Structures are given as structure tokens and as C-alpha cells.
Amino acid sequence: MRNNRRPAKSILPGRYVQNHIPRATHRQGVRRLVYNKATRNQDAAVMKQTKTCKVCHIPLRVGKDHLWGPDGTITLRGIHDRRMVFFDSDGLDVLFSNIESLLGISVEKILIESKARSAREYARRMLRGPKGQLARLVGLNRVVGRVLLQGRILGYGRAGVSGFSWREGYISVEIEDPYSLPLFCADFRGAAESVTRDPGTVTSEELGPGRYRVDVARGSSSPEFAGRLLPQPRARKPGDVTYNYCPRCGVPLEVSRFIWDLDRGTITHADSGLRMALFGPQGLEVFFNELEGELGDTIPETVIEAQRMYAESRMSLRSIGARAGDVRSWLAIRGLGNLVSLDITEELLEARIENPSLPLVIVGTSLSFYEFTFNRKGRMEWSLADDGDLRMRISPA
Ligand SMILES: [Zn+2]
């Protein structure tokens, strides 16, 4: 499925391909690590030690680090306000390129800046105190190597450090099947910046089908983004979503319908073949906000339309006749929020979701669901209340 997948068409077009890593990488005295068969075998050995749950066959790390809560959210255990989503990553690059084609401009810079900023803040938080000192002591390449292995459990693809010299000012990784190339580039840049405390620039180059080299080099920060604040996590409402938790690892058993391939670093939905990943939605929310700040208040509608276009291409007959319980569970398993009411009467759909994550994505998907179910265009009215609730009303257009 994903093996032969080409990168997103427009988000990182040819002009992005640069080879600016200095020839100095081959000079004497500069460490050059090759991400070759031997390193890959080493990684495979490490991943083998990653234990999977004997009951639900999901890596134990997933349940150890993540909590699916009754309020429709996924959070990091121990960092209650850090939300995650378990989301269809196949759709992300399509969403980005749909946004680009609707706007007629490239949004790659804003996307990478936004996600890198969020990734950097997150990594900084994780590396506070002695942990951070240790990370700086053992070296950027080893820290990044560890993070990349962890990323495989989250479905980010198989990656390893392939070249490193911070004295020369760069670190390179090779990745196969990234969950989203621009988001991976941004995550990598943010993580590297949090360790080096230097601003970086990131570039990528395609090495073969689905294989890329991504380089972070010491650079200067973009002044227009410097000093911008990240959104504060919102207070959440309690909820009563119930799951069948795995008795051994604590992950909802519904999640075991997804197949973890630790060697490739992929998570696939068994029925639909969709590729999934577990990641923090904050970077995307910052991206949508930055777009709106930059390009005006029609951006939310553009994002909704871009997601509606993507969701339309994924709708299947199984979606018809979905009951409120199915939709509620669908949202909660993905950490997108708690569906507290859903009324579908005649050709009217009304819904309220507490603790929504990526509301524009939910709205676009819902509109597509409506149009597929009723086989007609829908008119969407939606609002985000002060208490964070997302309300939607879809009627015939
Ligand atoms: Zn389990």
C-alpha cells in the first residue's frame, strides 16, 4: 500500500530539493555515519526488544505513554494537558496539497515553521533539567536516534541518523515512508533545535521511492515567526466515553484493529488499509492559526473545504447508516473529542462535540459524511463556543 507511495505532490515540490550539505562531510575528522544495512539491522534488533502486549498485540509503550480518557481525548500520561491525536496520516499530505491548490500558493514555509515551533517547545519540556543536560552530553545524534526509534512506535516511518557533525553545523537522517514528509521535517528540526538551542533550517531530498534524506543545518530563525506564542491548552470538560480497555496494557481494544509494523514504523487500519500516526495536533492548530493571521479570515472555510475534498475521496458505503454510538467511538478513539449530541432528522444534521481537537478537520469530514449519506450538497454552519464546544448544523444547500 504505502511502499510505493509517492510523496505529496505539491507540498514539497522540486524546488525544495537542495543539496546544500557541504562536501566537508567527507573530510577527515568529521564523523560520517552511514545509515546502511548494518545500522538498520541494529535498529531492527532494538525494535525487537520493544515488547508488544500479549493480549492486544500493540507495543506496550503505546499504553505506557498514552491515555484514552472518558472525555474523548488522548493525552500523554503524566502530562495531562499535552493532547495527541491518532489520525489518518495518509490524509495529511493530501489535506495540505488541497489547501495549496485552493489558495494557489505554497504554504510549506508556514507549515514547517508552525510544526517545528510546536515540536521544539514539546522537546524542550521533555528535556528540562537533568534529562536535558544528559541529552546534550550524550550528543545530538544519539538523542535524535532514540527519538527516531520512538517515532516508529508512533507510526512515523523507519528512520535513522545518517550523518552528523554539529561542529560543521548539520545533522542528517534517512527516512523511509514518513507519515508526512513536511511534518517529519518540522518535527526533526524542532527536536534538533531543542537540543542544540540553535535555530536550524531543514531541507529534504528524495533518494528513491518513499525514501528521503532530511538535513537540519544551523541557520537563522525566521524573524516573522520569532517570539510568537503557542496557544495555551484549553480546560477540558469531563466526559463519559467508555472503552473496552485491554486488561494488560490499558489501550482501548478498538485500537487493536490497527496493525503496528515496528520494522517499517507504520500503523495501518486492518479494514481500510489507511495509514495512521499518533502525534500532537498542536502544530497543525498553530499552522491553521498562522495561515489565518497571514491570509485572512476565509482560511477556516478553505481548510474545511480541503478536508471535505479529501474525506469525500475516502467515504465508503460503510459510512452510511452510522449511528451516534459509532461516530462517538470513531471520534474518541482518534482523540478528536467527545460527541455529546448528534441528531440526524430528514436532511438535517446537528451535533455538539466537547473538547474538540482539530475542529476544522472535524467540520470538513462531517460535511463530507453528510453529503455522502444524503447524496446532496450540504450547507454547513458551525461555531466554537467560549467553553470550547464545537457545534455543527448541516442542512441541504
Ligand atoms: Zn494490550
**Can you point out the beta strands (E) in the chain?**
66-68, 74-76, 79-88, 158-165, 170-176, 200-208, 211-218, 258-261, 266-269, 275-279, 338-345, 348-354, 378-384, 390-396
d(CA 334, CA 87): 6
> Does 145 score more than 90 pLDDT?
no
Ligand 1 centroid from CA 69, angstroms = 16
User: Ligand 1 centroid to 279 CA: how many Å?
Assistant: 20
- For residue 9, how many other CB atoms are within 10 A of its CB? 13
- The stretch 59-74 carries a mean pLDDT of 96
The answer to whether residues 120 and 194 touch, using CB atoms and an 8 Å cutoff, is yes
Per-residue pLDDT, 261 = 93
The more confident residue out of 159 and 271 is: 159
Q: How far is the CA of 57 from the centre of ligand 1 (A)?
A: 6
Domain ranges of the chain: 297-396
Of 137-146, 193-202, 288-297, the poorest mean pLDDT is in 137-146
The pLDDT score that the predictor gives to residue 76 is 93
pLDDT averaged over the chain? 85
Q: Which whole number is the average pLDDT over 351-359? A: 97
Would you state the pLDDT for residue 7?
A: 38
pLDDT (0 to 100) of residue 194:
84
Q: What is the whole-number distance in angstroms between the Cα of residue 335 and the centre of ligand 1? A: 18
Q: pLDDT higher for 46 or 1?
A: 46
Tell how far the Cα of 53 is from the centroid of ligand 1, in angstroms: 5
d(CA 49, CA 114): 34
pLDDT band at residue 175 using 50, 70 and 90 as cut-offs: very high
Percent of the chain with pLDDT over 70: 84
Residue 178: the pLDDT is 95
Mean pLDDT of 243-261: 95
Q: State the Cα angle at 141 between 161 and 143, rounded to 5°.
A: 110
| Higher-scoring residue by pLDDT: 386, 7 | 386
User: Locate cell 507549515: which residue?
Assistant: 111
Which pLDDT value is given to residue 20?
Answer: 32
- Give the model's confidence band at 12: pLDDT under 50 very low, under 70 low, under 90 confident, else very high: very low
State in Å: Cα 67 to ligand 1 middle: 13
pLDDT (tens digit per residue) in 21-58: 333 333 333 344 455 666 666 666 666 667 899 999 99
Ligand 1 centroid to Cα of residue 52, in Å, is 8
Given this model, what pLDDT does residue 334 score? Answer: 96
For residue 365, which phi and psi values (nearest 5 degrees)? Answer: -65, -40
The alpha carbon of 247 and the centre of ligand 1 are apart by a number of angstroms equal to: 7
What is the 3-state composition of the chain as percent helix, strand, coil, each rounded to the nearest 5? 40, 25, 35
The answer to whether residue 13 scores a pLDDT higher than 80 is: no
DSSP SS3 for 127: coil
pLDDT at 27: 35
Query: In the predicted model, what is the mean pLDDT of residues 245-267?
Result: 94
140 alpha carbon – ligand 1 mean position (Å): 33
Give the whole-number percent of the chain exceeding pLDDT 90. 59
Distance CA 200, CA 50 (A): 31
Average pLDDT over residues 169-198: 90
Helix (H, G, I), strand (E, B) or coil at 184: helix
CATH 3.30.1380.20 fits 297-396, yes or no: yes
Report the separation in Å between the CA atom of 269 and the middle of ligand 1, taken as the mean of its atom positions: 17
- Phi–psi pair at 265, nearest 5 degrees: 75, 40
CA of 245 to the centre of ligand 1 (A): 8
If you measure from the C-alpha of residue 20 to the centroid of ligand 1, how many angstroms do you get, rounded to a whole number? 45
Q: pLDDT tens for residues 288-299?
A: 999 999 899 999
Which pLDDT belongs to residue 67? 97
User: CA 376 from chain center: how many Å?
Assistant: 31
- Which pLDDT tens digit goes with each residue over 71-111? 999 999 988 889 999 999 989 999 999 999 999 999 999 99
Ligand 1 (single-atom ion) residues, CB below 5 Å: 53, 55-56, 246, 248-249
Ligand 1: distance of its center to the CA of 250 in Å? 6
Greater confidence (138 vs 315) lies with: 315
Split at pLDDT 50, 70, 90, the class of 1 is: very low
DSSP code of residue 336? S
Ligand 1 centroid vs 46 CA: distance in angstroms? 20
**Cβ–Cβ < 8 Å for 262, 158:** no
The answer, yes or no, to whether residue 16 has pLDDT greater than 50, is: no
CA 85 to centroid of ligand 1, rounded, Å? 19
- Report the separation in Å between the CA atom of 122 and the middle of ligand 1, taken as the mean of its atom positions: 27
Are the C-beta atoms of residues 231 and 286 closer than 8 Å to each other? yes
Residue 390 DSSP code: E
Rounded to 10°, the helix 299-314/282-295 angle is 130
Tell me how far the alpha carbon of residue 45 lies from the centroid of ligand 1, in angstroms.
22
17 contacts 206 by C-beta, under 8 angstroms: yes
pLDDT tens for 325-335 read: 889 999 999 99
Cell readout for 265 is 514504523
Q: Give residue for cell 481537537.
A: 357
Residues 246/256, Cβ–Cβ less than 8 Å = yes
